Amino acid sequence: MFKEVSLVADAIVIASHPTSPQKGHAFCWRLIKASNINKPVVEVETKSGTVITWNSDKKDLALLISEKLGLKTEKPADFGVTLWTEGKRK
């Protein structure tokens, strides 16, 4: 579904409130790696109050969101290399 949404959207904003910020960041990281989307994807993580641009050098959307909501911007985490595969899934 994420890939389908990217076909009609100019950008994707993922709002999350996970039990820990690392879980939210890991979810977004995995989603980006699995989908190969080349449109801006921004995570708004409310628990730690951060806005992250995940897959684009264009940070305008993230900066606008962080300014309007009073949140800080953060660089995306890198969780490393995928260590397993299942069929075509990594």
Q: Which of 59, 5, 50 is closest to 25 using CA atoms?
A: 50
Average pLDDT over the chain, rounded to whole? Answer: 83
Confidence of residue 73 (pLDDT cuts 50, 70, 90): very high
- Residue 77 pLDDT > 90: no
Q: How high is the pLDDT of residue 82?
A: 63
Q: How high is the pLDDT of residue 54?
A: 86
CB under 8 A, 24+ apart: contacts of 63-69: 65/13, 69/44
Q: How high is the pLDDT of residue 84?
A: 64
Q: Is 1 exposed, middle or buried (0-12, 13-18, 19+ CB in 10 A)?
A: exposed
